């Protein structure tokens, strides 16, 4: 919870005015399917489950996103290895660079150096 609060503070510092958080797969899917998102960061592990179903839903809705994980870049699977990865622990500068890259290249290609799901 403290990490989540720190990320929310970082996003607010960037000027994000609407931040949405989901702590599990079901809530994340409900949000992705019911609300428009400018972009998202998605933890690979949501409440003990891999979040690839949410990643597929984000793709379906055309939402640019990056994974956040403590598993490293090799911890992203299920066909999403080309997605940008924010390795934990990360700082405000690293988060900013990932988000800036997503906004510059919505498809999230790794050549790229607001709401969070």
73 to 16, 84, 88, 110: CA distances (angstroms): 26, 8, 10, 11
Question: Is domain 2-104 given the CATH code 3.40.190.10 in the classification?
Answer: no
The residues near 3 (Cβ < 8 Å, ≥ 6 apart) are none
Residue 49 is predicted with a pLDDT of 94
Residue 113 is predicted with a pLDDT of 32
Task: Give just the sign of the alpha carbon dihedral 72, 66, 79, 28.
Answer: positive
Residue 101 is predicted with a pLDDT of 92
CA–CA separation, 96 and 3 (whole Å):
16
Residue 42 is predicted with a pLDDT of 93
Task: Give me the residue spans of the domains in the chain.
Answer: 2-104
79: left (phi over 0), alpha (psi -120 to 50) or beta: left
pLDDT tens by residue, 14-39: 888 888 999 899 999 999 999 998 99
pLDDT lower than 50: segments of the chain: 109-117
Residue among 44, 36, 45, 33 at smallest CA distance from 66: 44
Residue 114 is predicted with a pLDDT of 41
């Amino acid at each position: 919870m403290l990490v989540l609060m720190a990320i929310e503070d970082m996003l607010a510092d960037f000027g994000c005015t609407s931040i949405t958080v989901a702590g599990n797969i079901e809530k994340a899917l409900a949000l992705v399917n019911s609300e428009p998102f400018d972009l998202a960061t998605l933890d690979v592990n949501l409440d003990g489950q891999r979040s690839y179903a949410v990643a597929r839903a984000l793709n379906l809705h055309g939402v640019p996103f990056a994974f956040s994980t403590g598993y490293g870049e090799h911890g992203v699977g299920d066909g999403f290895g080309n997605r940008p990865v924010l390795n934990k622990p990360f700082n405000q500068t690293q988060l900013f660079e990932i988000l800036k890259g997503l906004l510059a290249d919505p498809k999230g290609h790794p050549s790229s150096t607001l709401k969070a799901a």
